[in-house]
Amino acid sequence: MGSRSINSGGKSSVWAGLALLVSGARAIAMPDGHTGKVPSLGWNSWNAYHCDIDESKFLSAAELIVSSGLLDAGYEYVNIDDCWSMKDGRVDGHIAPNTTRFPDGIDGLAQKVHALGLKLGIYSTAGTDTCAGYPASLGYEDVDAADFANWGVDYLKYDNCNVPSDWQDEYVACIPDASTSGPNGTCTSANTPNLAPPGYDWSTSKSAQRFGAMRDALAKQSHEIVLSLCIWGTADVFSWGNSTGINWRMSGDISPDWDSVTHILNLNSFKMNSIGFWGHNDADMLEVGNGDLTVAETRTHFALWAAMKSPLLIGTDLSQLSQDNINLLKNKHLLAFNQDKVYGRPATPYKWGINPDWTYNSTYPAEFWAGPSTKGHLVLMVNTLNNTVTKEAKWHEIPGLSAGHYEVRDVWSDKNLGCLSSYKAAVAAHDTAVILVGKKCRKW
């Protein structure tokens, strides 16, 4: 859908020639024509370490990404989250890296990460302070963008905390997990008094201006940096994010539990039309290996994040990650779908399952998902119940397929299941059956 970054060796004027139309929306491709077309893959420090970070943790993560085969699978970003700088203000107008934690500076860390064949990300906020209370970038966009570029940073997670009163939006958008909503996740002026009027252009909002200022600052640099908007789905970012960043957070923060997974899954199921090449709904960082998620819940979490074409940023201590979870993160079929260079659209619900179609329900979200790819249709059947349930994928119900026999492959086992007229599976509690439906079988 859309993005903005910096042109390696070029100037901001190149953007005029890079406008593309994708799904009817204005999209600005990265200057290299490659970066950001499909979702970003990598690792982020926050879920594992929060503010307890230093250079050694990032170098360790980078080395493990390489040695575990995750780099070969496509994971390339090593992203610093909050708390990397000195906390007591700017030095000569610049954010100062904490040299106790990063003795060689961010530029020194970037050189080491780049030497391993990886890219480095950093963090700031479109407010007066970051979420953890460190210096942020509102009003200093040009200074900070230049510093990030000079340091060799390749990715910027740009958060939304500590917005001063003069930068607050006039209205709010309907966001069920952040505002009072009515039946089926809807909002009215009765339950949300400052709800934006119908037809309001959110691209003119102060939120869009705040994030757009960093987009414009990055576009002036000579080193390419991906801009990731951590805006939590506010300000109807789905309508303007594709002219500002590579991806945009579509919800509040994830937590490593089943309720959080189904809640985000439910929210995103109603926001899939904004996803395409160079623009992705960010369902937040992966919790694979964290918290109380069971094996089945972890599989569902990863499979749906990949299928929804969210960025896939691992958020755990890689040294503690089991081989089974590493294998899950490297699943070739799910990664191929997420990274498909021909089909930019995600898998979407084709049937809700327990509830009538288009029912907003964070406990029992849409259960039947599908989407086309160069390898065939990816089909997912989620079991949101607490007991094993038999589910069936019927080809005539899936957009792009019709009745008949198709070649089917089990995504989890990579086993060829032969030519099937439908697919039926006993799906364990909170697990997901995932198949790849290929060509129609000629003999039938």
For residue 210, give the nearest of 89, 83, 125 by alpha carbon: 125
In words, the CATH class of domain 12-169+205-345 is alpha beta
- Structure token digits, residue 114: 């780049």
Section 51-58 average pLDDT: 98
Please state, rounded to an integer, the average pLDDT across all residues of the chain: 92
Structure confidence at residue 14 (pLDDT): 25
- Any bridge partners for residue 156, and if so which? 122, 227
Structure confidence at residue 38 (pLDDT): 97
Residue 323, Cβ density class (10 Å: 0-12 exposed, 13-18 middle, ≥19 buried): exposed
Cα–Cα distance, 433 to 303 (Å, whole number): 9
208-251 pLDDT, tens digit per residue, is 999 999 999 999 999 999 999 999 999 999 999 999 999 999 99
Section 246-272 average pLDDT: 97
Instruction: Let me know if 159 is a catalytic residue.
Output: yes
Cα–Cα distance, 302 to 311 (Å, whole number): 11
- Helices 55-67 and 105-115 meet at what angle, rounded to 10? 10
Q: Is the dihedral of CA 145, 146, 151, 154 positive or negative?
A: positive
**CATH architecture, domain 349-440:** Sandwich (2.60)
What Å distances lie between residue 374 and 36, 310, 433, CA to CA? 19, 18, 20
Look at residue 9 and tell me whether its pLDDT is greater than 90: no
14-26 pLDDT, tens digit per residue, is 222 222 323 334 5
Cα–Cα distance, 108 to 96 (Å, whole number): 14
DSSP state for residue 431 in the 8-state scheme: -
Q: Which of 54, 129, 216, 253 is catalytic?
A: 253
Task: Give the confidence band of 345 by pLDDT, cuts at 50, 70, 90.
Answer: very high
Section 390-398 average pLDDT: 98
In the chain, where the domains are located: 12-169+205-345, 349-440
For residue 69, give the nearest of 242, 406, 326 by alpha carbon: 326
Residue 176, Cβ density class (10 Å: 0-12 exposed, 13-18 middle, ≥19 buried): buried
Cα–Cα distance, 167 to 177 (Å, whole number): 22
Q: Which of 159, 169, 284, 340 is catalytic?
A: 159
Look at residue 302 and tell me whether its pLDDT is greater than 60: yes
Range with the poorest average pLDDT among 21-30, 120-129, 339-348, 400-409: 21-30
Q: State the Cα angle at 42 between 431 and 271, rounded to 5°.
A: 55
Task: Give the confidence band of 347 by pLDDT, cuts at 50, 70, 90.
Answer: very high
CA-based radius of gyration for the chain:
22
123-141 pLDDT, tens digit per residue, is 999 999 999 999 999 999 9
- Structure token digits, residue 310: 């969210």
Q: Kindly give the pairing relationship between strand 25-28 and strand 19-22.
A: antiparallel
- Structure token digits, residue 228: 């990731």
Instruction: Let me know if 142 is a catalytic residue.
Output: no
**What pTM does this model have?**
0.93
